[in-house]
Amino acid sequence: AQTVTQSQPEMSVQEAETVTLSCTYDTSENNYYLFWYKQPPSRQMILVIRQEAYKQQNATENRFSVNFQKAAKSFSLKISDSQLGDTAMYFCAFMSLPHDMRFGAGTRLTVKP
């Protein structure tokens, strides 16, 4: 069974600075997808970024980028130029086909003014 581990329950960062959230996973599969979701106080799950395991190039979405290390089964999220609106719970997720998605325990990120 796939497991997703987020070892940082809480993190904080000053506005405009950079923060990295960690995620590791365990799987025996070779074809899968990895995601970072953001859950603000509204509880709506918002897709931040996704990575296909077969792609070596790290995904980037504006201020958000990942460091995907397939051999190490590591998938960290870097948020650059942090904004107050980035304050939220962040969940790392693993998806094997077809669409079986599992989540990590989450990291609560607080951006301080």
Under the rule (CB under 8 A), what is the footprint of other proteins? 33, 37, 42-45, 47, 50, 52, 91, 95, 97-106, 108
Q: How far is CA 6 from CA 3, 16, 55, 57, in A?
A: 10, 24, 22, 22
Minimum distance, C-beta of residue 85 to other proteins, in the bound complex (Å): 18
Minimum distance, C-beta of residue 105 to other proteins, in the bound complex (Å): 5
Nearer to other proteins, 26 or 52 (CB): 52
Nearer to other proteins, 52 or 81 (CB): 52
Give the C-alpha separation, 8 to 106, whole Å: 8
Minimum distance, C-beta of residue 70 to other proteins, in the bound complex (Å): 17
Q: How many separate helices (H) and strands (E) can be counted in the chain?
A: 0, 12
For residue 22, what are its two tokens? 């960690």
For residue 79, what are its two tokens? 């948020």
Give residue 18's identity as a one-letter amino acid code: T
Minimum distance, C-beta of residue 28 to other proteins, in the bound complex (Å): 19
Nearer to other proteins, 11 or 45 (CB): 45
Cross-strand bridge partners of residue 108: 10, 89
Nearer to other proteins, 8 or 80 (CB): 8
